[in-house]
Amino acid sequence: MKVDDLLRKPGAWLKRGSRDDVVVSSRVRLARNLAERLFPEWAGEDERRRIWDEVSGVLCGLPQLQRGLCVETSEIDEVSRRFLFERHLISRELIRKRRGSGLVVRGDETLAVMINEEDHLRLQSMRPGLSLGRTLNMVNDLDDAVAAEFTYAFSRRLGYLTACPSNVGTGMRASVMLHLPGLVLMNEVEPIVRGLTKIGLAVRGLWGEGTEISGNMLQVSNQVTLGVKEDEIAVNLEQVIMEVVEHEHNARLRLMEQRGEVLRDHVGRAYGILGNAHLVSTGEALDLLSGLRLGVDLGILKDIRRETIDELMVLTQPGHLQKLAGRRLKARERDRVRADLIRRRLKAGEDKGAGD
């Protein structure tokens, strides 16, 4: 499988899932390291390349990852790196690495392993909707398969040992991607974020640490990995997220009841602009697609499928546009290609307006 093969279809995490009107996707990653080997940052290039060879050799043959993508970072061109990042398959950190680091991805993108990022292994599972339990099970199965082949750096007292102390213990980070347009439009997202932070959860934008809220998307994840069991982390986070979902549903109801005109105007404008603009930036596309998603969820837009919108949110990112075009595109060209793609997809999907 090649990087380009991923482009042909959306990842399985873009399919329908539980409570997917609010929870776009669930993700669990486990940080793992090989026993008695230097962490990637301390190892030289030769040692990292030996680890890459050993680990990728085994992983790319595992039944879970077979016939998937198996590639060293140095072999991936710049546009493809950006593309994989937008697909949530590699991190900003891995993008910067060259020889001796790489990526193994299952064809449907539900499983991915980064090798020699901050840790020797970063195992990740990603699924649509709110599904932290099943997502954890999936990555645990992969973890067991890897553990059968290698000895992990593990302390009976502390748990899994990791390059950064913040990951020591379970080495686990569970996160969900939330779409919260109701809370944003009702000006109620701030207290929710404060509440989540207060109980020890991290809140980030669509593209992870240090990114702003675009398209009314928020990532929420656990911070504590030490002294808690994996399934407790998943269950606790899922319970909190259920409450956020309820708040969002409630905000949408009040939006319909109290500010129906403003809501229909908001959704109608998003639909009208995306259906007719010829230059659209990444940020504007995300914000307007968020408006469409809300319109679909509330039955205001009846002829657009939510899957179309979610796919467009991914496909209109700069890396995806350049992969689709098969070449590098300047910012202005991307704005044009992005607008064209959205217009075509919205026209193909339906033929009635958002009008009356």
**Residues 113, 277, 292, 296: which binds a copy of itself (CB under 8 A)?**
277
The string over 310-343, giving b where at least 16 C-beta atoms fall within 10 Å of a residue's C-beta and e elsewhere, is bbbbbbbbbbbbbbeeeeebeeeebbbbbbebbb
Question: What are the structure tokens assigned to 84, written together?
Answer: 């994989």
Instruction: Mention every residue, 6+ apart, whose C-beta is less than 8 A from residue 352.
Output: 302, 303
**Residues 274, 294, 315, 329: which binds a copy of itself (CB under 8 A)?**
274
> Could you tell me which of 195, 192, 191, 196 has the C-alpha nearest to residue 222?
196
Point out which span in 23-31, 68-76, 77-85, 274-282 binds a copy of itself (CB under 8 A). 274-282
Cα separation, 240 vs 246, whole angstroms: 10
Backbone angles phi, psi at 308, to 5 degrees: -60, -45
Task: Give min distance, CB of 326 to a copy of itself, in A.
Answer: 21
The answer to whether 185 contacts a copy of itself (rule: CB under 8 A) is: no
Point out which span in 22-30, 41-49, 76-84, 275-283 binds a copy of itself (CB under 8 A). 275-283
Cα separation, 240 vs 355, whole angstroms: 37
Task: Give min distance, CB of 288 to a copy of itself, in A.
Answer: 10
Q: Tell me the pairing of strands 217-222 and 154-155.
A: unpaired
> Could you tell me which of 132, 322, 99 has the C-alpha nearest to residue 237?
132
Point out which span in 31-39, 218-226, 239-247, 265-273 binds a copy of itself (CB under 8 A). 265-273
Q: Are 52 and 120 in contact (CB under 8 A)?
A: no
**Residues 273, 314, 324, 325: which binds a copy of itself (CB under 8 A)?**
273
Compose the 312-351 pattern: x for residues touching a copy of itself by CB under 8 A, - for all others: --------------------x---x--x---xx--x----
Point out which span in 87-95, 192-200, 209-217, 258-266 binds a copy of itself (CB under 8 A). 258-266
Q: How far are the Cα atoms of 177, 219, 227 from residue 204, in angstroms, in the given order? A: 9, 5, 24
**Residues 98, 242, 276, 302: which binds a copy of itself (CB under 8 A)?**
276
Count interface residues toward a copy of itself (CB under 8 A): 25
Q: Which is nearer to a copy of itself, 160 or 271 (CB)?
A: 271
**Residues 7, 275, 287, 349: which binds a copy of itself (CB under 8 A)?**
275
Backbone angles phi, psi at 150, to 5 degrees: -130, 160
Q: Which is nearer to a copy of itself, 326 or 353 (CB)?
A: 353
* CA dihedral (47, 53, 59, 62) positive or negative: negative
The answer to whether 279 contacts a copy of itself (rule: CB under 8 A) is: yes
Helix or strand (DSSP H, E) at 104: strand 102-105
**Residues 68, 268, 318, 319: which binds a copy of itself (CB under 8 A)?**
268
Q: What pairs with residue 27 in β-bridges?
A: 126, 175
Q: Are 25 and 177 in contact (CB under 8 A)?
A: yes
Q: Which is nearer to a copy of itself, 43 or 273 (CB)?
A: 273
The answer to whether 257 contacts a copy of itself (rule: CB under 8 A) is: no
Q: Which is nearer to a copy of itself, 241 or 354 (CB)?
A: 354
Question: What are the structure tokens assigned to 49, written together?
Answer: 């390349």
Binding to a copy of itself, residues 71-110 (CB under 8 A):
none
Task: Give min distance, CB of 340 to a copy of itself, in A.
Answer: 8
**Residues 4, 77, 93, 265: which binds a copy of itself (CB under 8 A)?**
265
Instruction: Mention every residue, 6+ apart, whose C-beta is less than 8 A from residue 272.
Output: 353, 354
Q: Point out which residues bind a copy of itself (CB under 8 A).
A: 261-262, 264-265, 268-269, 271-279, 332, 336, 339, 343-344, 347, 353-356
